[in-house]
């Protein structure tokens, strides 16, 4: 099966010898609350603890695309052109039908010393630019299916933080050490519906300083001094909301009330977990610097604080209090569909409007999936690639 092949190639492991500070806190808090916490399969060895994978694994232990699939492609004769950008596909009408045929791609070199465009001709062309860049490329090429660039899902997240001074807990480590995500908690309703999942995140000092609400210069300095022992965890929802990306760099997204409610439920659970794990102070990233001192706090006082935690508008909402939302993963903006009226692509990943033009990335997914999508996307790409190989054998030999 595709997922088994992907699992094997990228070296997925389900155990972790030593968890990072963030994941230890998540696990400890859940255990103290009697909540279930699960291991997260990851594409690295069980004892991987580099702490820099979100910026590029410095020891090469993480089995990303650069050390697996691209290596395989080069070993089988592929040529990788760096420093250039795909501008448009070469589309021409071949007969009286409205469907066009793709003959290749036009690319521009990003170096100022190369002034000529590249014209690459191919029997089959594939866009694998991701959910934010594939739609603009197809639209620039002249395709007009309404599902190209729409149905964008973002897995919206809200973060909570907790401060764990070394003097107050035996949990070891710093926020910039260890694996990024090794544990997950699912926030479920009484009917077993999943409101959100809660995971840890690897956030560098630059990102933290940019996201922290401005209270005062003194507060910012104190918060950054505590960075190494400040744990960030987040609530992620499988969004029913959607957006669009029709032009490169222009993204529109409308977060609906249902997803905001689930984010609020997840964010409140994040704070409960941080308090239960032993945080001396917790807070959100709301614009007023919302936070709570935890020493001696009882359940009633905690719940009273949590009642004030919500999911308000973003910075452009012009509300008195606002919050920075994040996007964990982008998908769905060039969805597959059974017919041209249901999606931009057929079940093989081929564009309904253009023969010999395929899409092979997260944009093909028809909806948000609610969990980390790496293996799902790579497995889908694996299936599409097998279909493309069969298509070439049968039609282009």
CB 280 within 8 A of CB 316: no
Average pLDDT over residues 153-174: 94
pLDDT, tens only, 327-371: 999 999 999 999 999 999 999 999 999 999 999 999 999 999 999
**Tokens found for residue 64:** 């990303």
104, pLDDT greater than 70:
yes
Catalytic residue numbers, as ranges = 329
Single pTM value for the model: 0.94
How far apart CA 100 and CA 122 sit, in angstroms, is: 15
pLDDT, tens only, 12-28: 999 999 999 999 999 99
The pLDDT mean for the chain works out to 94
Secondary structure letter of residue 174 according to DSSP = -
Report strand pairing: 194-200 vs 183-188: antiparallel
The SS3 of residue 102 is strand
pLDDT, tens only, 270-279: 999 999 999 9
How far apart CA 118 and CA 106 sit, in angstroms, is: 6
How far apart CA 115 and CA 117 sit, in angstroms, is: 7
pLDDT, tens only, 50-81: 877 778 888 888 899 999 999 999 999 999 99
DSSP code string of 161-205: EEE--GGG------TTSS-S--EEEEEE-TT--EEEEEEE----H
96, pLDDT greater than 80:
no
Considering all CA atoms of the chain, what is the largest pairwise distance in Å, rounded to the nearest integer? 77
Of 231, 129, 120, nearest to 175 by C-alpha is 231
Please give the pLDDT value at position 101.
Answer: 95
Please give the pLDDT value at position 163.
Answer: 97
318, pLDDT greater than 90:
no
How far apart CA 257 and CA 41 sit, in angstroms, is: 32
Residue 165: CB partners within 8 Å, gap ≥ 6? 226, 229, 280
Of 144, 146, 161, 272, nearest to 208 by C-alpha is 161
Q: Which residue is associated with the tokens 């009642």?
A: 307
The percent of residues above 90 in pLDDT, for the chain, comes to: 84
């Amino acid at each position: 099966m595709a997922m088994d092949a992907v699992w094997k190639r990228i070296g997925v492991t389900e155990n972790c010898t030593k968890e990072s500070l963030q994941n230890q806190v998540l696990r400890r808090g859940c255990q103290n609350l009697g909540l279930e916490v699960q291991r997260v399969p990851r594409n690295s060895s069980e004892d991987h603890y580099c702490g820099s994978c979100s910026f590029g694994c410095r020891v090469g232990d993480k089995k990303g695309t650069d050390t697996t699939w691209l290596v395989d492609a080069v070993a089988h004769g592929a040529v990788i052109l760096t420093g250039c950008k795909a501008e448009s596909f070469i589309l021409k009408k071949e007969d009286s039908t409205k469907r066009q045929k793709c003959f290749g791609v036009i690319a521009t070199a990003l170096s100022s010393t190369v002034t000529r465009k590249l014209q690459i001709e191919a029997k089959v062309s594939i866009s694998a630019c991701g959910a934010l860049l594939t739609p603009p490329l197809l639209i620039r090429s002249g395709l007009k299916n309404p599902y190209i660039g729409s149905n964008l899902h973002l897995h919206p997240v809200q973060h909570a933080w907790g401060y764990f001074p070394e003097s107050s807990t035996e949990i070891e480590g710093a926020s910039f050490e260890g694996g990024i995500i090794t544990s997950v908690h699912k926030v479920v309703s009484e009917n077993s519906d999943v409101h959100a999942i809660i995971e840890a995140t690897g956030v560098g000092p630059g990102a933290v300083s940019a996201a922290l609400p401005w209270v005062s210069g003194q507060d910012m300095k104190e918060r950054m001094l505590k960075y190494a022992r400040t744990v960030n965890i987040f609530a992620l929802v499988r969004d029913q909301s959607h957006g669009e990306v029709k032009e490169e760099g222009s993204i529109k997204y409308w977060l609906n009330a249902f997803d905001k409610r689930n984010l609020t439920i997840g964010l409140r659970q994040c704070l409960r977990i941080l308090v239960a794990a032993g945080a001396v102070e917790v807070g959100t990233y709301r614009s007023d610097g919302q936070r709570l001192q935890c020493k001696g706090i009882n359940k009633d006082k905690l719940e009273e604080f949590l009642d004030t935690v919500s999911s308000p508008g973003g910075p452009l909402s012009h509300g008195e209090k606002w919050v920075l939302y994040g996007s964990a993963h982008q998908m769905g903006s060039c969805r597959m569909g059974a017919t041209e009226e249901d999606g931009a692509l057929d079940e093989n990943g081929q564009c309904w409007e253009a023969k010999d033009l395929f899409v092979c990335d997260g944009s093909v997914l028809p909806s948000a999936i609610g969990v980390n999508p790496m293996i799902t996307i790579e497995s889908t790409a694996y299936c599409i690639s097998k279909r493309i190989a069969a298509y070439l054998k049968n039609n282009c030999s």
